[in-house]
Amino acid sequence: MIVSKGRFGILCAALLALSALLVGCAAGPHQVIDATEECSSCHSDDKPTYEEVVPEGAEQVAPTVAVGTSADTVSVCEPIFTEEDGSYFVPRVVRTVPVSDGSATVELEAGTWVLSLDQGDTATSKLVTVAEGGAEHIDL
């Protein structure tokens, strides 16, 4: 099959766009998924996930943390880790907390959480680990 230069360029652009969609979690901030969904809701069933991950990049926060934001709500999510080192994750919403006067007071149990601003197809997220003496205020 012979493809002209113009059609070749269009074909390459289409393949590049398709590959960006297939990369999913690794391409940037992943959208927040519902509590009843799994990674396979937007990826194939063979997408690996990891349970026991201690991510290096998590910010330490106090069990009660004020989250500064201009959004209406903050999503408290559990991370589904898609890389063994914790560098990539899918935030799965556990609950939402309303924002009042630019801040939401979030109560967290011990462990690792994702605080997210759900923006539909993407999210602004921060991975946090609860620690006594951790930050009492963060901004999203």
| pLDDT tens profile 6-22 | 554 454 444 444 333 33
| pLDDT tens profile 55-113 | 778 999 999 999 999 999 999 999 888 888 888 888 889 999 999 999 999 999 999 99
Kindly report the CATH number assigned to the domain that includes residue 121: 2.60.40
Structural domain includes residue 19: no
More confident residue, 54 or 94: 94
pTM of the model: 0.69
Domain of 75 in residue numbering reads as 28-139
Structural domain includes residue 86: yes
| Separation CA 50–CA 85 (nearest Å) | 9
| Separation CA 58–CA 130 (nearest Å) | 10
What phi and psi, each to the nearest 5 degrees, are found at residue 94?
Answer: -105, -40
